[in-house]
Amino acid sequence: MIRKRYFALLTMFVCCVIFVGCGAKEGSTLPQDLGTSAESSQSGDGLVQGGETAQAAESENDTEAEPNEDKDLDTIKNELVQEITLAMTKQEEIYTTFDKRMADQNGKDRLSSDELELWDTVLRDTCSYITEYLSEDELPAFTAEQAEWLDHREDEAYFYDWYYEDEEYGEEDDFMVSNRSKARITRERVRDLIERYVDEKILEPKDGELSHFELEAIEDKLNGIGCYGFLLNYYDDPRYIEWLQVFYNGAGFDQGYPSEEMLQACKAHGYDDFFTDIVTVSAEDVENYVKLTTGYDYSEMYMPLVTFYLEEYDMYILQHGDTNRTKVKAVSGNLADGIYSIVYGESDCVKFAANADGTLRFVSNLPEQPSSEHINKPRFIFEEEGFVFNDSDLRKLKEDELKGLSAEELRTARNEIYARCGRKFSDKAIQEYFDKLDWYYPSIEPEDFDESMLNIVEKYNVNLISKYEESANKR
């Protein structure tokens, strides 16, 4: 495709915006000539060396007036794909050098400079390809988008500093950390542009061990608001995902805010003890999201949303925050038959499949040495004494757990659900039993207690226990 001189010049302007706009800080080795620094092109230790990068820059300078005019788009695209593939290979070498502590302080600084230059060059060439085929109407929007990204690159990169600060290297190396963080945010930008404008299949992982480049993309997704909640309890079956944790983090889609009428309705039902921001999610959205991320119906979940449901609005009222979030590091991973297995943190392993729309369908999340004490249980449960089931307010009980219990144990198990809510008891023996327990705070008279104060899990468990209690009393 041959463009008018106007578009050729505008294309070069976009490329200049990309690198001039980087605003190199003191000590930075951002590219001096559209992506090539004199220091790294002459370095004998760097991974981006004189040959390839310098030649690419010279080639571009030679055709500055009419870039790529003698090449069709398919040729340019194929060259870009080869460049990205080579960059991914070199990135593995960089990771290996850092992971194995193979560089001294000066070597780390040079290597981090090379890493940043490597991906600045890939980004420049990716943008160059994109501007070659965008229409006259589309080009200004892309130019503005890229300029805005550059304006915020340093701020965004700051959030990756935690990943590259390495106490084992001794003193904190701000230069190295800054370079590596900016290189990572630039790789993220390259991924985004490739998937949107070039060909999303280019970056699709193949079966086998995942590269660091591929792990980075997965790590970013797992740390995102739409996935992190799935890492907050251990399960070997997605029906045991704790949805209160998932939605407390936001679940990754837009949620509404309760109207004044909704808040008044909550208060009328005794649900007004809010400690965080309040959001609303429709029952339909919850059901669709659960199906998308697990493959199961919401009715099959053992730990559904234990929050207030406004039946008249068909809405869940949720407290929302990020106090249960930290960053996780993906240590290793592999892909087999469509299932990703990612080891993160110390030794936890999450398994999932990728949906066509980019969301994940979770399979399991387990520690290195699974124990029945922690698997398929809520994240936070009462550790106090005196409970038959200390998580019966968060998890649907299974019938196997009730079989074999005596009538007295079943009676206690049912009434502890009410006791946890502060209900008093007319039966003197039951009242005396709970009065002895530290966690029990009696506050509601029996005649004032409303069954609507129980959440969906508690109601389910009361009905299930009652059935077994009735049978036990007949024995």
Q: Which residues touch 270 (CB under 8 Å, ≥6 apart)?
A: 450, 452, 453
Residue 210, pLDDT score: 94
431 occurs within a structural domain: yes
Of 379, 407, 435, which residue is a domain's last? 379
Residues 435 and 309 placed together within one structural domain of the fold: no
Q: What is the pLDDT of residues 382-418, one digit of tens each?
A: 667 789 998 999 999 999 999 989 999 999 999 999 9
pLDDT at residue number 41: 35
Q: What is the pLDDT of residue 107?
A: 84
Residues 293 and 158 in one domain: no
CATH number of the domain to which 455 belongs: 1.20.58.1690
CA distance 230 to 238: 9
Inside any domain, residue 454: yes
Asked if residue 410 and residue 352 are part of one domain, the reply reads: no
- Same structural domain for residues 245 and 297? yes
Same domain for 148 and 269 = no
Q: Could you tell me the pTM of the whole model?
A: 0.76
- Please indicate, yes or no, if residue 387 is contained in any of the structural domains: no
Given this model, what pLDDT does residue 98 score? Answer: 83
What is the pLDDT at residue 347?
A: 86
Local mean pLDDT, 10-residue blocks, the chain (475 residues): 39 43 37 34 34 39 48 84 93 86 79 94 94 91 94 87 62 80 94 90 90 91 90 94 88 81 80 75 93 96 88 85 78 95 92 92 89 79 80 92 92 95 94 93 91 89 94 78
Average pLDDT, the chain: 81
189 and 254, same domain (yes or no)? no
Cβ-based neighbours of 320, under 8 Å, separated by 6 or more: 247, 248, 249, 250, 255, 276, 277, 278, 279
| Domain end among 314, 349, 379 | 379
On whether both 367 and 420 belong to a single domain, the answer is no
Domain count, the chain: 3
Range of the domain at 262: 225-379
Which residue, 238, 375, 248, is CA-closest to 301?
238
Which of 143, 174, 204 is the C-terminal boundary of a domain? Answer: 204
Whether residue 463 sits in one domain with residue 356 = no
Inside any domain, residue 229:
yes
The reply to whether 218 falls in a domain is no
Query: Quick one: 367 and 444 in the same domain?
Result: no
Q: What confidence tens digit (pLDDT) does each residue in 76-125 have?
A: 889 999 999 999 999 999 988 887 776 677 888 899 999 999 999 999 99
Check whether residue 61 and residue 106 sit in a common domain. yes
Q: Is residue 212 part of a domain?
A: no
The reply to whether 371 and 234 lie within a common domain is yes
Do residues 370 and 440 both lie within one domain?
A: no
In a domain, 58, yes or no: yes
